[in-house]
Every structure is written in C-alpha cells, then in structure tokens.
Chains A and B, each alone.
Chain A
Amino acid sequence: AQTVTQSQPEMSVQEAETVTLSCTYDTSENNYYLFWYKQPPSRQMILVIRQEAYKQQNATENRFSVNFQKAAKSFSLKISDSQLGDTAMYFCAFMKPPGGSEKLVFGKGTKLTVNP
C-alpha cells in the first residue's frame, strides 16, 4: 500500500519570502502521479501542481515549483514570493497510473501561514 508522509504539521513565512514544504512517499510502483493540493479555510480542495513520475523535469506553475527526487521518494513544494492568499492547508497526494481506480492517497497536511 502507498503511504504519504508530511513531517511539518505547521509552517509560517513572511509575505514575499520563499518557503518549502516537505513530502515523502512510499510505493513499489514505477509510474505514478504526485500532487500538491491547497485547502484554504473555505474547505475547497484546489490542485496546485502535478508531477508525473516518468518525467525527470520538475513541474512548475507560476510561483509554485516542486523538487521531485524519485530515488529518494521525495516531493517538496517551493512557494516563491509568498502571498497572504497562500495561507492554507497543503496536502501532498499520490495516485497510481490511470486505468483502474483514481484513488488519491493524501498526507496529513501542512498548515502554512503567510504573515504580513
């Protein structure tokens, strides 16, 4: 069974600075997807960024980028130029390749607070 571990329950960062959230996972699969989701106090889960395991290039989406280390089974999220609206719970998630269930396996989350 796949597991996802987020070792930082809470983090804080000053507005405009950079912060990195950590995630490790365990799987015997060779091909899979990894995700970072954001859940603001409004509760709506929003996809931040996605990484396919077969791609060596790290994914980027504007101010969000990942550091994907497949051998180490590590998948960290870097948020640059942090904004107040980035305050939220961030969840790392794993999914096996499509073709069967689209089950997402989530970590316990990291609560990020961006301070003015």
Chain B
Amino acid sequence: DAGVTQSPTHLIKTRGQHVTLRCSPISGHKSVSWYQQVLGQGPQFIFQYYEKEERGRGNFPDRFSARQFPNYSSELNVNALLLGDSALYLCASSLGVGTSGYNEQFFGPGTRLTVL
C-alpha cells in the first residue's frame, strides 16, 4: 500500500505570492494533519481535518487555510507569503479522531517551500 503522498516535493515562491500544497492520505485514513517544520526546529501543528471538518488549529495567522475533500485528500493554502514561511511542510494521516485508544499518525515526505 502507498504511504502518505505530498506534492510538490519542492517549491520556490516569491514574497506576496500564494501557494497550495497537496496531501493524499493512506487509503482508509480519514484524518489529515498539517505541520510546519522550520530548519533546525521540530514540526509545529497547523491544522487537523477529520471527515472534512476542522478538528484542530495551531497558532498560525489567517493567511494559512486548509480543506479536506470527499476522498480525504487535503490542501494547505498560504496567502501573502513571507520569507518566514520558508519551511518543510509535513502532512500526516491517521484512521481518525479516536474516542478511545490511539490512532498512529503516518507522515508524508513533506514539501520544501522556499520563499525568496
């Protein structure tokens, strides 16, 4: 089975532009989370979507938005790009938000965004 896939692998944008990053979860997984990993730091939580609804949001400005589609794939959108948005953007999928027990999150390889 394919793992979590993300596209594109690398992306170069200029300040003020808009970017869309894409994530396809593992087949059968209904939850997708997005993380930003700045160079030399640990990943920071941006969003989680489950069954097309937002289930969690991190401390990021409104320039960041996301959505989940009926096939459970997801897009992360960032408007008005800043130099500080340069980072590795990771997507993780899981079976879903558990009311009991734990669902392991599986990470994709990430999209490297460079803002010039």
Q: Is the CB of B43 within 8 A of A100?
A: no
Q: Is B105 an interface residue (CB 8 A)?
A: yes
Q: Which B residues lie within 8 Å of A42 (CB)? A: 109
Q: Is A28 an interface residue (CB 8 A)?
A: no
Q: Is the CB of B48 within 8 A of A45?
A: no
Q: Is the CB of B105 within 8 A of A104?
A: yes
Q: Is the CB of A102 within 8 A of B88?
A: no
* Interface residue total, chain B, C-beta cutoff 8 A: 30
Query: In the bound complex, how far is the Cα of B112 from the Cα of A30, in angstroms?
Result: 36
Q: Is the CB of A43 within 8 A of B88?
A: yes
Query: In the bound complex, how far is the Cα of B101 from the Cα of A106, in angstroms?
Result: 21
Q: Is B25 an interface residue (CB 8 A)?
A: no
Query: In the bound complex, how far is the Cα of B107 from the Cα of A61, in angstroms?
Result: 19
Q: Is A52 an interface residue (CB 8 A)?
A: yes
Min C-beta distance of B25 to chain A, whole Å: 13
Would A98 and B100 be within 8 Å (CB), given that A42-B109, A43-B109 are in contact? yes
Q: Is the CB of B102 within 8 A of A33?
A: yes
Q: Which A residues lie within 8 Å of B107 (CB)? A: 44-46
Min C-beta distance of B99 to chain A, whole Å: 5
Q: Is the CB of B100 within 8 A of A104?
A: no
Q: Which residue of A lies closest to B44 (CB)?
A: A106
Q: Is the CB of A101 within 8 A of B99?
A: no
Contact with B along A30-68 (1 / 0, CB 8 A): 000100000000111111001010000000000000000
Min C-beta distance of A94 to chain B, whole Å: 11
Could you give 10 example pairs across A and B, Cβ below 8 Å?
A43-B110, A46-B107, A47-B105, A52-B102, A98-B103, A101-B97, A102-B97, A102-B103, A103-B33, A108-B40
Q: Can you add 5 more A-B contacts, CB < 8 Å, to A47-B105, A98-B98, A102-B56?
A: A91-B42, A99-B97, A102-B103, A105-B45, A106-B42
The 8 A-B residue pairs with the shortest CB-CB distance, nearest first, are A101-B56, A106-B42, A98-B98, A45-B107, A103-B45, A43-B110, A106-B43, A103-B56
